[in-house]
Amino acid sequence: MQAVVLAAGIGTRLRPVTTNRSKAMVPVLGRPLVERALLPYAKTGVRDFVFVISPDDAEITRHFTESTSLDITARFVVQEERLGTAHALRLAAPFVHGRFVVSACDSLLEPWHVQKLFSVGEDADAVLSLLDVEPEMLCRSGVVELDGERIRRIVEKPSRENAPSNTVSLPHYVFSPRLLEFLPSVEPSVRGEFELQDAIQGLIDGGRTVIGVHAESRFQVSSPEDLLALTRQLLSDGSEPFRIGPDSVSPGMTLVEPFHIEPGTVLGDGCEIGPESYLESGCHIGRGAVVRRSIVLRTGVVEVGEVVDSRIVA
């Protein structure tokens, strides 16, 4: 099975983290966010990935051709204009052969849920990942109307009053090639974008089988606060080993677990790092500075004696 990864977003809501990099390449404890998102697919056996990227994102192509530790084949399609998810998929369609996955670059699922997406509905033309949410969240996603496990209708970003349920479709899908037949007929939405949900509705209206699988949770990284929360969670739950680059030790420094300090950081004498802190290569921590429950990104500077707590320094 192939995977199409939607990675052309610039991450406006993630600024200043994304001032000098794409949303897909935001670092999460040494791995780009997009790599975190596709890890469950790679672990399930997907090896052929088609990335839809922005025209100025050389960093993502360099990472997946030179640096990634994943055993995958990466191809890249450039979306010159961000005209929606259906538009992005149309660009990737010439490289898709057979059943395929579509995944956003900023939404993280548990591996068991991805395995379930693959294992159920092998004869269905679409399998959607679903999540029950609070009413105020309905206007941010496609909302579905269910009949058992079958999806009868999907509405993109409705008002609370017009939402057919409290169940949303997450940006993780398994499609048969029939979905591609509906992409050319998708019209621009009121937002001026070509929405993938309209193609899915075309499948439904054409009598095709579209089913949903409920997730227990997911982690969406849309803001600096989300990134900080994810980083602290991964550090505190023990799923990531504590690390410090061998060239990062300085006299009199104090380390409080958990932490992740990449090689190539500059740490001043007597500084204190941790707990729940991540320092990206290229950052500079001044003498006697304190960094707790925070992220300091490349080129970020913590001044001499400064105390940083529960923040991102970009």
pLDDT attached to residue 246: 65
Domains plus CATH for the chain?
Answer: 2-220 (3.90.550.10), 237-313 (2.160.10)
Average pLDDT over residues 209-216: 94
Between CA 196 and CA 217 the distance in angstroms is 22
pLDDT of residue 26 exceeding 90, the answer is yes
What is the structure's pLDDT at 157? 81
Q: How confident is the model over 242-299, as pLDDT tens digits?
A: 778 767 778 899 999 999 999 999 999 999 999 999 999 999 999 999 999 999 999 9
**pLDDT tens-digit series, residues 92-109:** 999 999 999 999 999 999
CA 41 to CA 48: how far, in whole Å? 10
What pTM, to 2 d.p., does this model score?
A: 0.92
- The per-residue pLDDT for 120 is 86
Query: Does the pLDDT at position 65 exceed 90?
Result: yes
Mean local confidence (pLDDT), 179-193: 91
On the question of pLDDT at 240 being above 90, the answer is no
Q: For residue 151, what are the β-bridge partners? A: 146
**Mean confidence (pLDDT) of the chain:** 93
Q: Report pLDDT for 145.
A: 93
Q: What is the pLDDT of residue 109?
A: 93
Confidence of residue 219 (pLDDT cuts 50, 70, 90): very high
Q: 79-138: per-residue pLDDT in tens?
A: 999 999 999 999 999 999 999 999 999 999 999 999 999 998 778 999 999 999 988 887
